[in-house]
Structure 1
Amino acid sequence: MAPQVTGYRDAEAVDNVVEMGITGTVHLVDLDGSMGAVHDKSQKDVVLYPTPSSDPNDPLNWSQKRKWLNSFCLQLYTFMIAGGTATGYAVYPQIIESTGIPLSTLNSAIGVMFLILGWGCLFWCPIGLQYGRRGVYLISLLGCMAMNLWAPYTASAGTWYAHRFLYGFFGAPVEALVEQSMPDMFFTHERGLHVGLFLMWLGGASFLFPIAAGYVAQTMDWRWCFYFPVIFKGASIVFLYFFMDETMYDRSLMQQQALARGQAARGVSMPAPVDSQQAQLPPKEMNSEEKSAKAPSESSANLEAVVSGDMLIYEPLTLSKRLALFRVTPGKENKLWAMMIRPMKHAITFPIMAMAGFQYGTYLMFFVVLNATWTTILQAEPYNFSPGITGVAYVAPFLGALVGSAYSGWFGDRFHLWMARRNGGIREPEQRLWLYIACSLGLMTGLLLWGVGSGHIHWFGVLFGAFLLGFTGVLGGASPIAYISDSYPMLLGEGMITMTLIRNTMGFAMGYAITPFFENVGIRNTFITCAFLALGLTSTFLIFIFVGKAERKRTTAKYYEYAANATMTH
Structure 2
Amino acid sequence: MPTHLDDEQVPGTVYLVDVKGQAGASMHDASHKDVVLVPRPSADPEDPLNWSHQRKIMAVSMTYLYVIGTGIATSLQYSVLPDITRDTGISTANLVQGTGVMFLFLGWACLLWQPLALTYGRRGVYLISMLLTVPVMVWTAYSSSSGEWFAHRILIGIIVSPIESLPEVTVFDVFFAHNRGTYMGLYVFILFGSNFLAPLVAGWFNDAYGWRWTMNFGAILCAVCFVIMFFLMEETIYFRDTTIEGKDLDESDKYAMAAASDPEKAFIEGKIPSLNPATTRSDNIPSLSPGSTADHNAPSLAPPSENMDNIPTLSPPGPSSAGAPSFTTPPSDRETIPSLQPGIQSKTASSSIEKSDASTSHTTAKSRRAKYAIFTALPGRPSNMAMLRMTYRPLLMIPALPTVLWSGFLYGINLSWYNVLNGTTSPVLSAAPYNWSAALIGCVYTGPLLGAAFASLWAGNAADWLALRLARRNGGVREPEHRLWVLAVSGILSAAGLITWGVGADAGVHWIGLVFGLGMLTFGCVTGGSIAVSYNVDCFKEIGGETTGSVMVIRNTIGFGISYAITPWYTNQGLQNCFITAGMVSIACTFTFLLMIKWGKSLRRWSIPAYRKFVATTAVQHE
So what's the TM-score if we normalise by structure 1? Answer: 0.90
Corresponding position: 1:70 with 2:59:
yes
Q: Distance in 2 between matches of 1:284 and 1:86?
A: 42
CA deviation vs aligned residue, 1:36-86 (integer Å, no higher than 9, x gap): 461011111110110001111110011111111111111111111122221
Match of 2:522 in 1: 470
Report whether the alignment pairs 1:452 with 2:436. no
Quote the Cα distance in structure 2 between the aligned partners of 1:430 and 1:120: 29
Kindly provide the CA deviation profile for residues 95-123 of structure 1, in whole angstroms up to 9, marking residues without a partner as x: 00111001111111111100000000000
Which residue matches 1:128? Answer: 117
- Alignment-mate amino acid for residue 370 of structure 2: K
CA contact (8 A) 1:148 1:229 kept: yes
Q: CA deviation at 1:278?
A: 5.9
* CA deviation string 1:479-529 (max 9, x = no partner): 111111111100100110010000000011111111111222222221122
The residue type equivalent to 1:332 in the other structure is R
Q: Contact 1:91/1:214 (CA < 8 Å) preserved in 2? A: yes
36-45 or 223-232: bigger deviation: 36-45
One-letter identity of the residue aligned with 2:21: G
Deviations 1:259-292 (A, max 9, x none): 359xxxxxxxx895537996653359759x9757
Matching residue's letter, 1:35: A
Q: Cα offset for 1:305? A: 4.5
The yes-or-no answer on 1:461 pairing with 2:513 is yes
For 2:251 and 2:177, locate their aligned partners in 1 and report how far apart those are by CA, in whole Å: 32
Asked if the contact 2:8–2:275 (Cα under 8 Å) also holds between the matched residues in 1, the reply is no
Question: Does residue 175 of the first structure (1) align with residue 227 of the second (2)?
Answer: no
C-alpha separation in 2, matches of 1:324 and 1:17: 44
Tell me which amino acid in the other structure corresponds to 1:22.
V
For 1:20, what is the secondary structure of its paired residue? helix
**Using the alignment, how far apart are the partners of 1:483 and 1:316 within structure 2?**
34
2:375 aligned partner: 326
1:241 CA displacement: 1.0
Instruction: Name the structure 2 match of 1:27.
Output: 15
Q: Distance in 2 between matches of 1:177 and 1:97?
A: 37
- Give matches, 1:489-508, under 5 Å: 489-508=541-560
Match of 1:144 in 2: 133
Instruction: Specify the code of the residue in structure 2 equivalent to 1:321.
Output: A
Q: Residue 10 of structure 2 aligns to a residue in which SS?
A: coil
> Is this contact kept in 1: 2:120–2:381, CA < 8 A?
no
Say if 2:384 is the partner of 1:359. no
Match of 2:598 in 1: 546
**Matches of 1:200 and 1:182, distance apart in 2:** 14
Partner secondary structure for residue 431 of structure 2: coil
| Residue number among 241, 244, 248 corresponding to 1:255 in the alignment | 244
Question: Which amino acid is 2:180 matched to?
Answer: R
> Equivalent residue for 2:325?
302
Counterpart of 2:208 in structure 1 is: 219
What is the deviation of 1:422?
1.3
**Residue aligning to 1:267:** none
C-alpha contact 1:282 1:296 (8 A) present in aligned 2: no
Structure 2, unmatched stretches of 5+, are: 286-313, 315-323, 331-335, 338-348, 357-362
Cα distance change on mapping 1:340 and 1:273 into 2, 3 Å: same
Aligned position for 2:458: 407
CA 1:272–1:535 in 2, change beyond 3 Å: closer, same or farther? closer
Give the structure with the larger helix fraction. 1
For residues 53 and 18 of structure 1, the distance between their equivalents in structure 2, rounded to whole angstroms, comes to 27
1:434 aligns with 2:485: yes
For residues 460 and 232 of structure 1, what CA distance do their matches in structure 2 show?
31
**Residue by residue, what CA displacement relative to the aligned partner does 1:1-37 show, whole Å, maximum 9, x if unpaired?**
xxxxxxxxxxxxxxx9998222111110111211246
Amino acid in structure 2 at the alignment position of 1:333: P
Rate the CA distance shift 1:448–1:340 in 2: closer, same or farther, 3 A.
same
Q: CA RMSD in A?
A: 2.6
Contact 2:273 2:280 in 1 (8 A): no
Using the alignment, how far apart are the partners of 1:63 and 1:122 within structure 2?
32
Which residue in 2 is equivalent to 1:191? 180
2:583 aligned counterpart, secondary structure: helix
Amino acid at match of 1:472: G
1:517 corresponds to which of 550, 565, 569: 569
Relative distance call for 1:17 and 1:282 in structure 2 (3 A) is farther
Cα shift readout 1:290-310 (whole Å, capped 9, x = no counterpart):
757664897987274498427
Cα offsets for 1:504-559 (capped at 9, x unmatched): 00011111111111222222221122111112211211100000111112222431
Closer/same/farther in 2, CA of residues 73 and 221 from structure 1, 3 Å limit: same
Instruction: Give the C-alpha shift of residue 225 in structure 1.
Output: 1.1
* 2:254 is equivalent to residue 274 of structure 1: yes
Q: How many residues align?
A: 545
